[in-house]
Chains A and B, each alone.
Chain A
Amino acid sequence: SAVISQKPSRDICQRGTSLTIQCQVDSQVTMMFWYRQQPGQSLTLIATANQGSEATYESGFVIDKFPISRPNLTFSTLTVSNMSPEDSSIYLCSVFLSSGGSTQYFGPGTRLLVL
């Protein structure tokens, strides 16, 4: 398995500002993912972040709104830009491990409230 940490764990932000969320993994992983979980909803994949390449965004998500960095095999950041109240969600980092069975593991999430 993998141990994943995220910072911050929660934040309250004003509309129009940006927030950068950090994700740290305790081992080197090729594939990292960012998900959004809107209140009372299931998880929606925002993008896949592989080290050494540009992030791949899912339909409905764009780089200008959710820029992602992946500087090495244990770290990634997601920025939520020009926030509006509709961005209030839980943002989760995830990694894929093929060893021991093809499984995704998730971080504790960042709870964002935009006022």
Chain B
Amino acid sequence: AQSVTQLDSQVPVFEEAPVELRCNYSSSVSVYLFWYVQYPNQGLQLLLKYLSGSTLVKGINGFEAEFNKSQTSFHLRKPSVHISDTAEYFCAVTTASGGYNKLIFGAGTRLAVHP
């Protein structure tokens, strides 16, 4: 069975500071990895995804993530955060294939950006 662990439930950070949100996964097969963001009172928006190829993936709003197979990690980073980045961030994993496989979510990390 697959699982996702988001190591920090909450991450407070000051505006313009860098941030890293940590995600580790467990799987016996190859995986696809995703980060979704949920702004207050909104649904989930896809931030970025890793399917194959370069292990450094760039997403929207200046975020990027690096797939590290040996450490089974997919940490999300941004060099300089804004107040508007305050949101809940979810890491998710699924089995790598051309068809559908169930998406497994982490518990989420609440990013709070302070002025």
A interface residue numbers (CB < 8 A to B): 1, 4, 6, 31, 41-43, 45, 92, 96, 98, 101-109, 111
Do A1 and B46 touch (CB < 8 A)?
yes
In the bound complex, residues from chain B placing their C-beta under 8 Å from that of A98 are 98-100
Bound: A109/B42 CA distance, A: 7
What are 27 sample pairs from A and B whose C-beta atoms fall under 8 A apart? A1-B46, A31-B100, A41-B107, A41-B108, A42-B90, A42-B106, A42-B108, A43-B90, A45-B103, A92-B43, A96-B100, A98-B99, A102-B32, A102-B51, A102-B97, A102-B98, A102-B99, A102-B101, A103-B34, A105-B46, A106-B36, A106-B44, A106-B45, A107-B43, A108-B42, A109-B42, A109-B43
Nearest neighbor of B45 in chain A, beta-carbon distance: A106
- Chain B residue at smallest Cβ distance from A107: B43
The residues of A that contact B106 with a CB separation of less than 8 Å are: 42
Residues of A within 8 A of B90 (CB): 42-43
What's the Cα separation between A96 and B92 when bound, in Å?
A: 14
Tell me, in angstroms, the Cα distance from A101 to B101 when the chains sit together: 13
B contact residues around A41 at 8 Å (CB): 107-108
Considering the complex, which residues of chain B in the window 4-47 have a beta carbon less than 8 Å from any beta carbon of chain A? 32, 34, 36, 41-46
Given contacts A41-B108, A43-B44, A96-B100, 10 further A-B pairs with CB under 8 A are A42-B106, A98-B100, A101-B49, A102-B32, A102-B94, A102-B97, A102-B101, A104-B103, A106-B44, A108-B43
B42–A103 touching, CB < 8 Å: no
Docked CA distance A107–B45 (Å): 8
Residue of B with least CB distance to A10 = B41
* Identity of the chain B residue whose Cβ is nearest the Cβ of A101 in the assembled complex: B51
Contact status of A103 and B102, CB under 8 A, knowing A42-B90, A42-B108, A92-B44: no
A92 contacts which chain B residues (CB < 8 A)?
A: 43-44
Interface check B105, CB cutoff 8 A: yes
> Which of chain A's residues have a CB closer than 8 A to the CB of B36?
106
Please give, as numbers and ranges, the residues of chain A lying within 8 Å of B105 by CB-CB distance. 42-43
How far, in whole Å, are A98 and B98 apart by their CA atoms in the complex?
7
| Residues from chain B with Cβ under 8 Å of A4 in the complex | 43
